[in-house]
Amino acid sequence: MNDVTDVTDVTDVTTPRRRRGKLSRELVLAAALRLADEEGIDAVSMRRLGQAMGVEAMSLYKHVAGKEDILDGIADLVTAEVDVPALDAPWREALRACAIATHQSLLRHPWAAPVLESRRNPGPARMRYLDAVVTILLRAGFDIQDVARAFMAVDSHVYGFTLMILAWPFDLRDAPDEAAVMANDVFGDAFPGLRAMAGLAITGPGVPIELEFGLDLILDGLERRLAGNAGGPA
């Protein structure tokens, strides 16, 4: 009898009833992040998340308030992948590093860009990040209006560039073959300018896919604006 009882106890460890006690908000959000990465953001629901974790969906409500709370949480996990810049960092280097790191994080989580921008309750990681960037720009001499403009300019470039790449209908490794089809079957002689640009991908050196090119143009413009601002450093 003792042997039978011991087997029953071991088996119970794998049941949802026993596993629920091991749940935490951190584990739930980590599972939701994996689910979004693997199956897309539309797959993230309380029911589907419960299935993925091997628990009843109702048990998740002890740790998260619902789907919107989960979206807030996983958006903050994505933001947490970007290091918060030091407040005494040079503004241009800080903004550039943050923009590149954000782009890389959004590529790792293809669902994240629209979710991040749609959140009305930013989490602690995002609040720390945003406040640090604002503080760095204010200390550099930008007025608060130009700080907001800088945010909009840099974010629109990073998010727009990322979404453009994610929306492409082909893998970048197939770009030469795709460009050849476009040049011969679509552009032809009717669109010589586009045909010439397609040639970059066909014969080299390749069409430049560079977040940094547009980013540096924006930063150059901000630098000139700061230098021309009577309230900022010359």
Average pLDDT, the chain: 85
Q: How far is CA 141 from CA 50, 54, 220, in A?
A: 50, 53, 15
For residue 49, count other CB atoms closer than 10 A to its CB: 23
- Tell me if 180 sits within 8 A of 202, measured CB to CB: yes
Largest CA distance in the chain: 87
Domains of the chain (ranges; CATH) run: 2-64 (1.10.10.60), 85-228 (1.10.357.10)
| DSSP 8-state class, residue 83 | P
Positive or negative, the CA dihedral 109, 114, 115, 119 is positive
Judged against a pLDDT cut of 50, whether residue 60 lies above it is answered with yes
Mean pLDDT of all residues in 219-230: 90
Q: Cα(131)–Cα(138) distance, rounded to whole angstroms?
A: 10
∠ Cα 26 30 32 (to 5°): 120
Residue with tokens 């029953």, as numbered in its chain: 8
Which band of pLDDT confidence, cut at 50, 70 and 90, is reported for residue 194? Answer: confident
Of the candidates 72, 31, 74, which has an alpha carbon nearest to the alpha carbon of residue 49? 31
Residue 198's pLDDT is 76
Residue 2's pLDDT is 43
Residue 205's pLDDT is 63
Residue 6's pLDDT is 39
What would the pLDDT profile of 129-175 be if each residue is shown by its tens digit? 999 999 999 999 999 999 999 999 999 999 999 999 999 766 655 56
